Structure 1
């Protein structure tokens, strides 16, 4: 198979899994994406309330990175006080199956861990 056609080729990311993790990896990005999948759009303060434990600085950084990767769109309304909304782009919405699979796997993992504690 040619290097360009192989989804796991050794390009700038090393492999396709590395490319995926470069976009959605970390503690907060999957949660941000999942919250935006559940809602059409969220304001910064709403996202902060929805994601317990994230600092404003970290949320800002993660949103900027997701915006740079074309996963999240930021819309600024010209009003006082300024209103900013975040939503998934059409490209970002393609992550839905990945996020749902992570959610389902996580739920199963919790069940397995709880069963091992009870045993």
Structure 2
């Protein structure tokens, strides 16, 4: 796994949280696993359009290292690996839903590109100018 040359300088709990679930793919992976509960790698990749295998593998490793995602490997032939959220990972879902609701009040979405998980979020705001 990629190791940065400089150690992260996280001085605030908000910075820690944004490091854990921020970025383009981490929150999407968390939301997909929150909805589907358990997925194999190939199923997870199908849910996330336009992600490369390298980025998915790296992001999963980071989420596993941070205790957000659990990887279960079964001793079967062919080998089977499943991914699911840990308790810590599930605890982040309400936070992401709150961010989604806040963002929905200020961001107009193109409905052709909405992720299926986002369609289930309660992000509509009564005071929005839709």
* Structure 1 CA distance for aligned equivalents of residues 100 and 41 of structure 2: 23
Please give the TM-score of this superposition, normalised by the length of structure 1: 0.79
* 1:13 and 2:7 aligned: no
Alignment equivalent of 1:67, drawn from 64, 72, 87: 64
Cα distance change, pair 112–65 in 1 and its aligned pair in 2 (3 A): closer
Larger radius of gyration: 1
Structure with the largest fraction of helix? 1
Alignment equivalent of 2:103, drawn from 100, 103, 106: 106
Q: 1:36-63, CA deviations, whole angstroms, 9 ceiling, x for partnerless residues?
A: 1112211111110000111011001000
* Structure 2 CA distance for aligned equivalents of residues 72 and 88 of structure 1: 4
* Structure 2 CA distance for aligned equivalents of residues 77 and 110 of structure 1: 42
* 1:48 and 2:45 aligned: yes
1:102, distance to aligned residue in structure 2 (A): 2.4
RMSD over equivalenced CA pairs, Å: 2.3
Cα distance change, pair 45–17 in 1 and its aligned pair in 2 (3 A): same
Report the secondary structure of 1:109's partner residue: coil
Number of residue pairs the alignment of both structures matches = 105
1:104, distance to aligned residue in structure 2 (A): 1.9
Please give the TM-score of this superposition, normalised by the length of structure 2: 0.72
Q: Which runs of 5+ in 2 are unaligned?
A: 1-8, 111-127
Match of 1:3 in 2: none
